[in-house]
Structure 1
Amino acid sequence: MVQLSICLPTRNRQSYCIETIKALAASESRGFEVIVADNSDDPGPLDAFLNKQLKDGRFRLIPPAPAVLPMVNNWERAVEQTEGRWITVIGDDDFVDPRLSELTRLFEVKYRDADAISWECMTFQWPDNRPAPTLARIPLASGASILSKQALADQLYRWSERKRHPGVGVGIYHGAIKRSLMERVKQSYGGRYFEHPNVDWESSCKVVSTARAIVHSQRPLSVLGACAASNSAATVSRETMGTRLATFETETTGGISLNQPFFPFRLAGSGASLCLSIATTTTWFCHTYGIDLAGFGANFAHAAMDECRYSHTREEYDAKVDCFARGFAAWEGGRWAAMFKPPAFAPPKTINQLSGVSDETLHVREAELGPTTPEEFYRFAEHVIMPMDNLLAGTKVFAL
């Protein structure tokens, strides 16, 4: 059996996807496979590259269906085609180290009950997605440990951290899930691997609920890339956020709606935010599958206030406040409305101007960087983090 399956769902971003494929193909490891699930309007570019140019047996292409698939269905068919003992999903503008296949073997021995692996991620904006100064992120720590499922549940379902989004990076997206766990997820939740349109956070909810043990690596193993055509680009552009949400809603028609009556916050319009997108997913999961939500109302009011703090303009701030205020007024008869007291708008004084280290993370101004792809950035970052060979050998320290 293949040790690791890397799923690469893609839609109409063929040039980025081909760069990611090239980066993975450069690995000499034979312990992994890559499933490219093409959901593009034009099947030609990826077919020509994979079947006529690359011709690498580790890569398999699933061609587009007769009609465009919702993202959740494209992810579903990608995982269905995997043969690996462990499975991960990344975006077509991201990168994951194929040596993860070897790390899963090590963790299987060291943490025998572990059926899910999470890790810290580097972040990188492609050169075409820097409308304002941006900072790349390199986590510097290298330890590994079993996570508390209770703590994860409090953070993810009940938003106990009271931040603009839960600090939970557990799930199949930029995480590795054992096949046996994915099958338990399928048996326990709707007969599918994935149900909700917000697939990555839905996966986190199900993994936290179902996993036997989750091991977390502080050493980063992948790069969250964001090109101009990605959904992630919405985090640096309000206009892009609106466009992506409109397209997303159109292409998921017929599935589970992003807007649910038991959580009446609207994702349409200028007040939409990543905070709301995640909350609609976690509340859907808890409501659907009977997860205890005690404490969520008060915690989410604080999370909404935290989201409002991250506003670059007065217009953006006013739109967020209005969106949250309307939602709190309609939610559970306005039970939590009085707790939503957003701070006064304060424009950011400095936006991503300084490189430096904070909380064991190196932040680097991307305007100064030479790397132009997530894989190049990962190789650049490897000069300041624990070498993978040392990690696989169980070495605790390394010298520069």
Structure 2
Amino acid sequence: MYLTICIPTRNRQRYCIEAIKAIAESDETDFEVIVADNSDDASILGDYFRTEVNDSRFRLLPPTDTVMPMVDNWERTIPEVRGRWISMIGDDDHMDPSVLQVIRRYEREQPELEVVAWGRMNYNWPDNRTITTLAAVPMGHATHVPDKKIVRDQLYRWSQREKRPIGGLGIYHGAVRRSLMERIKRKYSNRYFENPTVDFDNICKAVHEAKAMVFCQRPFSVLGACAASNSASTQSFEAMQKLVDEFYRELGSHERIEDEDFPFSPRLPGLAIITSIASATWWFCRKYGVDNEGFQENFAHSAVHECLSSRTVEEYRIKVEGFRQGFAAFEGGKWSSHFNPPAEFFPSTAQNELCGVHKNTMYIRESGLEKITTPAEFYHFAEAFVMPVRHLVSARQAFAA
């Protein structure tokens, strides 16, 4: 078995079933799908697998007696994996199994390859369009070998000073070789996944440990956002607060997202995503002695960018106040002076309104996609705009540094 796609899911069975149905349409045979069900009602997916799934490529891990924290649901999938390579997607996402052809090509040319990343499309399910929304399709198809020093600076130090550090070079909407996951478990607390911000937990460790990494600009998966997803919470403070509260209820005895010495809680209104990522990178570097000099100042600049992405003046005010509280308590307020958001803020009237191509990504207004109702349908629609897989696999172009 070459590739295993894992789909952890909780109480979003109808989206998960759509993900299963879409992947099952693939003609590829050298892959498997493991669905790890952590739902309150085991019967929905249990009955679906028993009556509808007649495909040996798919397996179901049923719920346990008690609800697991998300990190534990991810953790239990890896011992079940048969594939040489492993990928994780959300239950409201889509992934094209033909990516295994590209991974094979890369592995032939880079025998020590352990992480493969690719472009990801973005799509909002029809039930998650409370505001004007845009779907996104990366248009590139080049292959890059990332410079490890630059990647580590961007991840651990937040050297780009943008809203988010570099992502994708991990198991979530990427692929990690099984042997690297075993090495991670041996080195890091005898677990595959440790921090509750599971995707960045893995990115931090994979980037630190991988012998070789490759990034393909061509998209092979879709980050879907349904009404119940974490991504949906960016459209509503109330939805974000509800998801954060539920997350903490189910966290159990695991590492808290915020450390005592990093007082930027995901409970701060509107800041759950950026603070959970920042906390995960800070936690990793502190716990495992990874040099992240410059992170504090860079994070302060990133926080300003986060505030400036606000859609309304009120949202801007709330985010600024949340960060100010955090920086006042962070290392005795040492970095507060680096958090300098403008006193006045004027939100863009064109945010999420304009469609077209910008910086090698095509943006499509989703109000015009009435007949496209799932991430998989959007992926097949968008395939008309991107490089066919067969051309990527047969190409003999050199890797770009």
TM-score for both structures, normalised by structure 1: 0.97
Equivalent residue, structure 2, for 1:78: 77
Offset of residue 395 of structure 1: 6.7
Q: Deviations over 1:1-27 (max 9, x none)?
A: x10000000000000000000001011
Q: Shift of residue 348 of structure 1?
A: 2.0
Is contact 2:120–2:219 with CA below 8 Å preserved after alignment? yes
Matches within 5 A, 1:79-118: 79-118=78-117
CA distance in 2, matches of 1:222, 1:37: 19
The residue type equivalent to 1:42 in the other structure is D
Question: Which residue is 1:55 aligned to?
Answer: 54
CA contact (8 A) 2:258 2:276 kept: no
Question: Secondary structure of the residue that 1:115 maps to in structure 2?
Answer: strand
Q: Equivalents in 2 of 1:49, 1:155: separation in Å? A: 43
**What residue in structure 1 maps to residue 384 of structure 2?**
383
1:250 aligns with 2:287: no
Supply the distance in 1 between the matched residues of 2:245 and 2:348 (Cα, whole angstroms). 28
- The aligned runs of 1:1-400 (5 Å cut-off) are 2-343=1-342, 344-369=344-369, 370-394=371-395
Distance 2:266 2:175 in 1: 30
Over residues 116-159 of structure 1, what are the superposed CA-to-partner deviations in whole Å (9 max), with x where a residue is unaligned?
00111000000000001111100011011211111111001100
Does the 8 Å contact 2:265/2:276 carry over to 1?
no
Structure 2 SS opposite 1:128: helix
- Percent identity between the two aligned chains: 49
Contact kept, 8 Å, 2:244 with 2:272, in 1: the verdict is no
Q: Quote how far apart the aligned CAs of 1:311 are.
A: 1.1
Distance (whole Å) between structure 2 residues aligned to residue 266 and residue 177 of structure 1: 30
Cα separation, 1, equivalents of 2:282 and 2:185: 20
Q: Retained in 1: the 8 A contact 2:154–2:165?
A: yes
Q: Contact 1:162–1:300 at 8 Å: present in 2 too?
A: yes
Worse-matched range after superposition: 157-166 or 234-243: 234-243
Deviations 1:351-372 (A, max 9, x none): 3122100111100001111311
- State the AA in 2 paired with 1:379: H
Offset of residue 271 of structure 1: 4.2
Q: Distance in 1 between matches of 2:116 and 2:222?
A: 16
CA distance in 1, matches of 2:52, 2:167: 39
Range with bigger deviation, 366-375 or 90-99: 366-375
Aligned to 2:59, the other structure's residue is in SS state strand
How far apart, CA to CA, are the structure 1 residues paired with 2:270 and 2:143?
Answer: 38
C-alpha distance in structure 1 between counterparts of 2:372 and 2:232, whole Å:
19
Q: Please, which moves more after superposition, 268-277 or 329-338?
A: 268-277
**Hey, what's the Cα distance between the residues in 2 that align with 1:80 and 1:125?**
32
- Corresponding letter in the other structure for 2:200: W
Checking the alignment, whether the CA contact within 8 Å between 1:89 and 1:174 is kept in structure 2 is yes
Quote the offset at 1:253 in angstroms. Answer: 2.2
User: 1:161: Cα distance to partner?
Assistant: 0.4
Structure 2: gaps spanning 5 or more residues = none
Cα distance in 2 between the residues matched to 1:346 and 1:120: 32
Contact 2:118–2:217 (CA under 8 A) maintained in structure 1 = yes
Give per-residue Cα distances to partners, 1:83-121, cap 9 Å, x unaligned: 100000000000111112222211110222211001110
For the 8 Å contact 1:117–1:170, the answer to whether it is kept is yes
Q: Secondary structure at the match of 2:304?
A: helix
1:371 counterpart letter in structure 2: I
Kept after mapping to 1: 8 A contact 2:234/2:270? no
Checking the alignment, whether the CA contact within 8 Å between 1:155 and 1:168 is kept in structure 2 is no
- Counterpart amino acid of 1:353? E
CA shift digits 1:299-321 (9 cap, x unpaired): 01100111110111222112111
Q: Tell whether the 8 Å contact from 2:265 to 2:272 is kept in structure 1 after alignment.
A: no
Q: Partners of 2:378 and 2:150 in 1: how far apart?
A: 32
Give distance in 1, aligned partners of 2:18 and 2:225. 13
User: Quick check: 1:31–1:102 contact (8 Å CA) kept in 2?
Assistant: no
Partner SS state of residue 387, structure 2: coil
- Work out whether residues 271 and 321 of structure 1, in 8 Å CA contact, stay in contact via their aligned partners in 2: no
What code does the residue aligned with 2:260 have? P
CA offset digits 1:237-267 (Å, max 9, x no partner): 2211111111111111211011211101122
Q: Report the Cα distance in structure 2 between the residues aligned to 1:152 and 1:301, rounded to whole angstroms.
A: 19
Task: Show CA shifts across 1:213-237 (max 9, x none).
Answer: 1100010110000000111111222
After superposition, what is the alpha-carbon deviation per residue over 1:141-185, rounded to whole angstroms, capped at 9, x for unaligned? 101121111111100110000011113321100000001111111
Q: Cα distance, 1:78 vs. partner? A: 1.1
Single out whichever of 81-90 and 306-315 deviates more from structure 2: 306-315
Structure 1: runs of 5 or more not aligned: none
SS in 2 for 1:382: helix
> 1:16 touches 1:93 (CA, 8 Å); kept in 2?
yes
Q: 1:266, 1:323 within 8 Å by CA — same for their partners in 2?
A: no
Please report the RMSD computed on the Cα atoms of aligned residues, expressed in angstroms.
1.1
Count of residue pairs the alignment pairs up = 395
Instruction: Single out whichever of 262-271 and 74-83 deviates more from structure 2.
Output: 262-271
- Decide whether the 8 Å contact of 2:116 with 2:214 is kept in 1: yes
Deviation at 1:273, TM superposition (A): 3.6
Q: Distance in 2 between matches of 1:101 and 1:143?
A: 17
Question: Per-residue CA shift, 1:369-388, capped at 9, x if unaligned?
Answer: 13111111110111010001
